[in-house]
Chains A and B, each alone.
Chain A
Amino acid sequence: MPEPDESACIEAAKTDPDVFGELYERYVDRIYNYIFHRVGNVHDAEDLTSRTFFRALSHLGSYQDQGVPFSAWLYRIAHNLVANWHRDRGRHHVVALDELIIKSLPHEHPEVMAEIQDDAQQLKAAIRRLDATRQELLVLKFSEGLSNAEIGSIMGRSEGAIKSLYHRTLLAMRKDFLRKGLDIE
């Protein structure tokens, strides 16, 4: 359910361009982050983020508070655009992980950092091998920090189904790791 001030903000945004700007500022980072992790490069992430907000603006009049958060509505738009993008380009299972920079901690030993980076690379490869639904779930869970209920409202599934899918996804990744003789503890 949108917060009271957010509901008022959404209503006001239907008639006031500046208020829509406030909504944009509130969600642009999250939407960009989600899209970036799903498409794999800055150029397409920027293009699809722009499209998401343009579409939100043009359909804002038809948006009605039906118990689903406004952010879920935006994620749905982004999700559909990303799905079209993958379909048009025939690019599946692409995640923007190669472009992520692992910031080194100043007090960590270089060997420890090298090991962490190696683990991260292996994890990125494992995530890339997942299907689109599972990739989306992990991005929403970890990169966006959403709860199972919020993810469920975006992906059109129940909270329990998300919880179960999440557990199965991590177990599958872990199994994939062990099959390749790798381990992360």
Chain B
Amino acid sequence: MMGRVTRLLQHPIRAVRRLYKPPSLPWGFEGAVQGALRPVEPSASFRAGLRGNLTLAAQRKMSGLVVEYPKPFREGVILGLSTGLLAAVVTALVLIFRSRLVGAKR
């Protein structure tokens, strides 16, 4: 039954498909979009640096070590610790300097 219905509908569907013409795009629009998405290249230093890191990682992998990209939180931890340490050193120096000034005044 379904097959018969499908066969009956085949011709009208084909006819509609032939008659339907999708809206055409204006000439030049595609070119304009392409112009807005011009290709970009990475910097030479980045490219060379990454190549070096990958070669090193590949060598480590060949020797059975796990290859892992440094996680961002590690960078954050290092940056945080460095900033904290620097702040502590500066504070300590200021306190020492200040206490010496106060001592000298007395």
- A and B part of one assembly: yes
User: Which residues of A line the B interface, CB within 8 A?
Assistant: 15, 17-18, 20-21, 24-25, 28-29, 32-33, 36-37, 42, 45-46, 49-51, 53-55, 57-58, 96-97, 100, 102, 116, 119-120, 123-124, 127, 138-139, 142-144, 167, 170-171, 173-174, 184-185
A58 and B61: CB pair below 8 A? Answer: yes
B33 within 8 A of A: yes
A15 and B62: CB pair below 8 A? Answer: yes
**Chain A residues, Cβ within 8 Å of B62:** 15, 17
In-complex Cβ contact of B26 among A36, A50, A185 (8 A)? A185
B67 and A46: CB pair below 8 A? Answer: no
B20 within 8 A of A: no
Q: From A30, which residue of chain B is reached at the shortest CB distance?
A: B39
Chain B interface residue count, CB cutoff 8 Å, equals 36
**Chain A residues, Cβ within 8 Å of B59:** 17
In-complex Cβ contact of A143 among B28, B38, B42 (8 A)? B38
A to B CB contacts below 8 Å, 24 in the list:
A20-B54, A21-B55, A24-B50, A28-B47, A28-B51, A29-B42, A33-B40, A46-B46, A50-B53, A54-B69, A55-B69, A57-B54, A57-B61, A57-B67, A58-B66, A102-B35, A119-B32, A123-B33, A124-B36, A138-B37, A143-B37, A170-B25, A170-B33, A185-B28
The smallest C-beta distance from A109 to any residue of chain B, in angstroms, reads 17
A142 and B61: CB pair below 8 A? Answer: no
A170 and B29: CB pair below 8 A? Answer: yes
A54 and B42: CB pair below 8 A? Answer: no
Known: A17-B58, A57-B54, A57-B61; 18 extra A-B contacts, CB below 8 A, are A15-B62, A17-B54, A18-B55, A20-B55, A24-B51, A28-B50, A32-B40, A45-B42, A50-B50, A55-B69, A57-B58, A58-B67, A100-B38, A143-B39, A167-B22, A170-B29, A170-B30, A173-B29
C-alpha spacing A29/B28, complex, angstroms = 27
C-alpha spacing A123/B32, complex, angstroms = 8
**Chain B residues, Cβ within 8 Å of A138:** 33, 37
Q: From A54, which residue of chain B is reached at the shortest CB distance?
A: B69
The smallest C-beta distance from A120 to any residue of chain B, in angstroms, reads 5
C-alpha spacing A139/B36, complex, angstroms = 10
State whether A142 and B37 are in contact (beta carbons under 8 Å apart), knowing that A28-B50, A54-B68, A57-B54 are contacts in the complex.
yes
Q: Which one of A18, A32, A144 has the greatest number of beta carbons of chain B within 10 Å?
A: A32
**Chain A residues, Cβ within 8 Å of B57:** 54, 57
B28 and A100: CB pair below 8 A? Answer: no
